[in-house]
Every structure is written in C-alpha cells, then in structure tokens.
Amino acid sequence: MQPQVLSSEIMHHYLRPKKKFPNVWCAGCGNGIVMGALIRAIDTLKYDKDEVVVVSGIGCSSRMPVYLDFCTLHTTHGRALAFATGVKFAKPRLKVIVITGDGDCLAIGGNHFIHACRRNIDITTILIDNKIYGMTGGQFAPTTPGGAFATTAPHGNYEKQFDPVKLAIGSGASYVARGTVYHVQQLEKLIIGGLSKRGFALIDTISNCHTYYGRMNKEGDAVAMIDAIKKQAVNIKQAETMPPEKLAGKFVTGVIHEHDASEFCEEYESLMQRLAAKGR
C-alpha cells in the first residue's frame, strides 16, 4: 500500500508532469474533470500505482492514459476492451481500467463492449459520453440524438441513438452506473463502486463537447453545456418517485444496476483446476 498523499499533492503524484503537457483537450472539456475524479477514486482506494493498468483506444478521452502515471496502454480505435481483456486475462491481480469515448466504445468497438459485458470480466470502463466524435472531426456517434447536427449529418442525424446503460445491463455487466461531469462527487463514488465490484463495470459519464457538438447544435460554450447537463440529470432515488412525463427529456444518474455473477478469469481458473485434477 502506498503512503497517504496530501490533497494538494494528489494530482502531481498521479500525473506525468514532464510528458505531453499541456494537454490536448479544449479549455472547458469534461475529460479533465473525469481524469480528476478517477485520480481521487484511486487515491481513496489506496491502490499502488504499479497494480493499476489504464487502457484506451483512439479519441479525445483516449489521450488520458498518456497523462497518468500508471501502467498504461494507448491502443487502436475501438480495441481498448480487447487489449484490456488480454491484460486482465494474463494478470488477473491487476486493476484494469478502460477510458473510452462513445464513438470509440460503441461504434467500431461495439462488439468488444457487448462481449466484455457478457463475459463479466473484471474491468472497469469509464465511458465519456459527449454525443459525438470529438478528435476526428465532429462525426455523429451511436449516442448522437436523432435530428442533432454533426459534420457527417449537416441536415440532422437520421439514425436513432441507443443507451449504453441498457446495452450493458442486457449484455450481463455486474455494475452499471451513470454520472456526469457536473456531479463530480457522485462520479467519484460511482468510479469507486465500479472499481470495488468484482466483474465488468460501466460508468457512463455524460460530458460536454462544446467545440463540435455544442457549436453545431447551438448549445453554447462549456459552462452552458455543463449547466444543461446539471438540469437534465435526475438522481435515481428521485426518479423512482417521478411519473414518466416528468422524466421526459431527462436522464437518470446513480447506480442503475448491480448484481453478483461469476467472473471470467475466475471461471477460467476453475476450469483449469478441474482439468488438472483429471490429468488433462
């Protein structure tokens, strides 16, 4: 276990200050808020830095492992969960965290996402959900609302969006939560919950991309978009008492689903032991 770190030293302790700074994110981007929440969650749990592996694919959010002083992998587009599965399968003792965007995870990486949930492998995935491809030019993503504008939808998105929370639940994930970049204290708790849960964990994190999505859809700057996120979010306890018409245009935050189920690496180890006992 690592020694206690003073709050004023936390960020410097967990960052690589001499590498790739200043960062590439736009001023006001929610990615930095998520990174801060992740750092504080790991510090709260007192993980040793050498036992944490952070994996990402391609995208704005996927630059995060470059800045973090853990064991890190910056991989190819959509393949973060495939690489992370390999890491966890080879070294089950490691705490494996995937940082991904809605395009990276749910479009080209959608099949990997479904099967990581199905296997219930012990990986914590933080999905930064900003409704658009940010780094590659503002294309519409699987989470872009119908009718919204993007560089690849100049007349409005004609495809239906889907809900990654419902997809994760339907695919078998053990822990499924939703937070936002406005509700930072809640987000930290949700990340702690995901890291502490044995099995696949998803923290769908509603964030802003004012550079592309906000500009093209006239939703304003970072402050305006984050304020809108605040107004649209409803805590799950409050949502349970609200009629459907009151929830229209809102989204629910908190732990949406949690259950106990067998974990992939443990199942494989059990299989190996059974076969060894039979001399195979």
| Dihedral sign from CA coordinates of 205, 206, 207, 211 | positive
CATH code of the domain containing 42: 3.40.50.970
Q: In this predicted structure, what is the pLDDT of residue 157?
A: 95
Residues of the chain with pLDDT under 50: 1
Token pair of 219 as six digits:
């939703």
**Per-residue pLDDT tens over the stretch 212-262:** 999 999 999 999 999 999 999 999 999 999 999 999 999 999 999 999 999
Q: Which of 241, 254, 195 is nearest to 41 (CA)?
A: 195
Quote the pLDDT of residue 144.
Answer: 95
pLDDT, position 10: 80
pLDDT of residue 1: 47
Residues 52, 55, 60, 63: what is their CA dihedral angle, to the nearest 10 degrees? 60
CA distance 239 to 165: 16
pLDDT score, position 46: 94
Residue 156 belongs to what domain range?
A: 3-18+26-277
How open is the CA angle 163-132-19, to the nearest 5 degrees?
Answer: 115
> For the chain, what is the domain count?
1
**Element (H or E) spanning 69, and its range?**
none
Which pLDDT does position 7 carry in this prediction?
59
Q: What is the pLDDT at residue 72?
A: 96
